[in-house]
Amino acid sequence: MHRRLIAPGALAAASVLLAIPASAASFTPGAPGIGDPYYPAYGNGGYDVSHYDLRLKYQPATDELEGTATLLAKTTQDLSRFDLDFLLDVSEVRVNGVAAAFSASGEHELVVTPKSPLPKGTALTVVVRYHGVPSSKQAYGFTSWHRTPDGGIGANEPESAWWWFPSNDHPLDKATYDVSVLVPDGTQAISNGTLQSTSSKLGWTRYNWRENKPQTTYLATLAVGRFDVTTGTSEGGVPVINAYSKDLGDNDGAARASVERTGEIVDWLSGYFGPYPFSSAGGYVPNTTTGYALETQTRVYYSPRQFANGANTSVVVHELAHQWYGDSVSVKGWKDIWINEGFARYAQWLWSEHEDEGTAQQLADYVYASHPADDAFWTVKPGDPGPENQFDGAVYDRGALAIQALRNAIGDDAFFAVLKGWPQKYAYGNASVADFQRYAEQVSGKPLAALFDTWLFQPSKPAAPAARAASV
Question: What residues line the site for ligand ARG (CB under 6 A)?
Answer: 156-157, 292-295, 318-319, 344, 391
Nearer to ligand ARG, 102 or 343 (CB): 343
For residue 462, the minimal CB distance to ligand ARG (Å) is: 24
Vertex 61: Cα angle to 59 and 65 (nearest 5)? 30
The partner in contact with residue 391, picked from ligand ARG, Zn ion, none with C-beta cut-offs of 5 to 8 angstroms by kind, is ligand ARG
For residue 28, the minimal CB distance to ligand ARG (Å) is: 35
Residues 6+ apart with CB under 8 A from 421: 274, 439, 443
Residue 224 contacts residue 187 (beta carbons within 8 Å): yes
Nearer to ligand ARG, 216 or 270 (CB): 216
The residue at minimum Cβ distance from Zn ion is 344
What is the distance, to the nearest Å, from the Cα of residue 119 to the centroid of all Cα atoms in its chain?
30
For residue 470, the minimal CB distance to ligand ARG (Å) is: 33
Binding residues vs Zn ion (CB under 5 A): 341, 344
Closest CA to 90 of 58, 68, 64: 68
The partner in contact with residue 169, picked from Zn ion, ligand ARG, none with C-beta cut-offs of 5 to 8 angstroms by kind, is none
- The torsion angles phi and psi of 412, rounded to 5 degrees, stand at -60, -40
The partner in contact with residue 157, picked from Zn ion, ligand ARG, none with C-beta cut-offs of 5 to 8 angstroms by kind, is ligand ARG
Residues in the chain: 472
Residue 411 contacts residue 366 (beta carbons within 8 Å): no
For residue 401, the minimal CB distance to Zn ion (Å) is: 16
Nearer to Zn ion, 78 or 341 (CB): 341
Nearer to Zn ion, 226 or 332 (CB): 332
Residue 276 contacts residue 236 (beta carbons within 8 Å): yes
Give the HSE-up count for residue 227: Cα atoms under 13 Å, Cβ half-sphere.
Answer: 28
Nearer to Zn ion, 327 or 435 (CB): 327
For residue 139, the minimal CB distance to Zn ion (Å) is: 23
Nearer to ligand ARG, 46 or 171 (CB): 171
Burial classification of residue 457, based on how many CB atoms lie within 10 Å of its CB (0-12 exposed, 13-18 middle, 19 or more buried): middle
For residue 156, the minimal CB distance to Zn ion (Å) is: 13
What is the C-alpha to C-alpha distance for residues 43 and 170, in angstroms, rounded to an integer? 5
